[in-house]
Amino acid sequence: METIPPVPELPEVETIRRQLDEALPGRTLEHATIVDERLTRPVPPATVASELRGRRLGRVRRRGKFLRLGLDGGDELVLHLRMTGRVHLEPGNSAERTHVRAVLSIAAGDTVVISDQRRFATLRLAGPAETDAEWNARLGVEPLEPGFTAARLQALLDGRMTSIKAALLDQRLVAGIGNIYADEALFAAGVDPRRPAGGLTDRENRGLHRAIRDRLRAGIRTNGASIDSFHDSLGNPGTMQHELRVHLREGQACPRCRTPITKLRVAQRGTYVCEGCQR
DNA sequence: CTTTTTCCCTGGACGC
DNA sequence: TGCGTCCAGGGAAAAA
């Protein structure tokens, strides 16, 4: 059994967002300890930590796979978990953990612990001047918001020669889709991940649009995929892994046509596909 | 402009 | 048992 790191994508980040938004708004951040200087690079950890001391926390938002923890004054703390970043919301004394990169101590003894085995996660403080326009310059449309229509998807893909899988993973086009949900959406739509992004028929494009939204919503509904040991911020595993139809299922029968699932390399990513029903 | 490549990291799998 | 090597992958930046 190969061990695959559980990479948080839009549904996993949204699951964490909801839990933090339930727990944090209105509370005071008494103290912040940032253990790994890489987390806040290039800003020194001490600078970020001192800025956070005594701040009141506001609503927690999400943009793509970025978590945005609101602070008084309109600032926000922007966290990206990348590959192995985890958030642990813990009451009282925090559990013994490995790879701890930051500890945010909340009044009444609760803590938000950020851990990250591979140290790719990033944490930065953004000022109130950072507008939506600046976010939109780096990130594309939110796939679960009304602006993401089939026509919008088609316009984004139009003329692109790169693979449809690479296009789905490009955060500047659509924000939040990662390797798991790209594979699952392409399977649900019956589209081969190697196809040129701009070459889908209207019908295929509409099917893919629907599949993207359907699979992401399934991920949120099941609190995300817990492939290896992913747990949400409360320590509970999600159940989306039981709904995966092709991802990590190399050699197993396609649930639709029984053809064995094959593993390819597309867009520099491990890519699982049913060559029987993805065309 | 689009697309590809490189880099950043760690630890588990694998070969000898 | 103990090394050395390869690999996974999100996003930023550089290169093509």
**Residue of A244, A242, A250, A243 lying closest to A272 (CA atoms):** A250
Judge contact between A15 and A226, C-beta under 8 A.
no
Are A53 and A161 within one domain? no
Are A56 and A96 within one domain? yes
How many Å apart are CA A163 and CA A153, to the nearest integer?
Answer: 14
Q: Considering A83, A110, A138, which residue would you say is the last residue of a domain? A: A138
In this structure, is residue A255 part of a structural domain? Answer: yes
Chain-centre distance of CA A49, in angstroms? 25
Check A9, A14, A90, A184 and give the catalytic one: A9
Quick check: is A134 catalytic?
no
In this structure, is residue A2 part of a structural domain? Answer: no
Check A152, A221, A263, A269 and give the catalytic one: A269
pLDDT at A126 > cutoff 70: yes
As a whole number, mean pLDDT of residues A57-68 equals 96
Are A85 and A160 within one domain? no
pLDDT at A225: 76
Quick check: is A275 catalytic?
no
Are A164 and A100 within one domain? no
As a whole number, mean pLDDT of residues A98-121 equals 92
As a whole number, mean pLDDT of residues A207-224 equals 94
As a whole number, mean pLDDT of residues A25-46 equals 94
Residue A253 CA distance to nucleotide C2 C1' (Å)? 39
**Confidence at A134, pLDDT banded by 50, 70, 90:** confident
pLDDT at A242: 84
Chain-centre distance of CA A224, in angstroms? 10
How many Å apart are CA A93 and CA A187, to the nearest integer?
Answer: 44
Tally of domains within chain A: 2
Judge contact between A200 and A158, C-beta under 8 A.
no
Are A125 and A224 within one domain? no
Judge contact between A14 and A81, C-beta under 8 A.
no
Are A187 and A127 within one domain? no
pLDDT at A25: 96
How many Å apart are CA A176 and CA A118, to the nearest integer?
Answer: 20
**Nucleotide minimizing C1' to CA distance for residue A120:** B9
In this structure, is residue A205 part of a structural domain? Answer: yes
Which residue is closest, via its CA, to the C1' of B4?
Answer: A267
In this structure, is residue A191 part of a structural domain? Answer: yes
Residue-wise pLDDT for A142-191, tens only, equals: 999 999 999 999 999 999 999 999 999 999 999 999 999 999 999 999 99
CATH number of the domain enclosing A115:
3.20.190.10
Are A127 and A168 within one domain? no
Are A118 and A183 within one domain? no
Q: Considering A85, A118, A138, which residue would you say is the last residue of a domain? A: A138
pLDDT at A227 > cutoff 70: no
Are A154 and A130 within one domain? no
pLDDT > 70: percent of chain A: 95
Are A167 and A113 within one domain? no
The region of weakest confidence among A62-76, A101-115, A122-136, A222-236 is A222-236
Are A211 and A97 within one domain? no
pLDDT at A243: 84
pLDDT at A231: 62
As a whole number, mean pLDDT of residues A205-227 equals 91
In this structure, is residue A143 part of a structural domain? Answer: no
pLDDT at A2: 37
Q: Which residues pair with A266 in a beta bridge?
A: A269
Helix axes of A202-221 and A10-23: crossing angle, nearest 10 degrees: 40
pLDDT at A1 > cutoff 60: no
In this structure, is residue A3 part of a structural domain? Answer: no
**Confidence at A92, pLDDT banded by 50, 70, 90:** low
**Which DSSP letter does residue A174 get?**
B
CB-based burial label for A246 (10 Å; 0-12, 13-18, 19+): buried
**Which nucleotides of chain B are near protein (any atom < 7 Å from a CB)?**
2-6, 8-14
In this structure, is residue A178 part of a structural domain? Answer: yes
Are A69 and A158 within one domain? no
In this structure, is residue A179 part of a structural domain? Answer: yes
Residue-wise pLDDT for A44-54, tens only, equals: 999 999 999 99
Q: Considering A88, A111, A138, which residue would you say is the last residue of a domain? A: A138
**Confidence at A238, pLDDT banded by 50, 70, 90:** confident
CATH number of the domain enclosing A233:
1.10.8.50
Provide the residue range defining the domain that includes A89. 10-138
pLDDT at A129 > cutoff 80: no
Residue A62 CA distance to nucleotide C4 C1' (Å)? 42
**Confidence at A4, pLDDT banded by 50, 70, 90:** very low
Check A8, A11, A143, A193 and give the catalytic one: A8
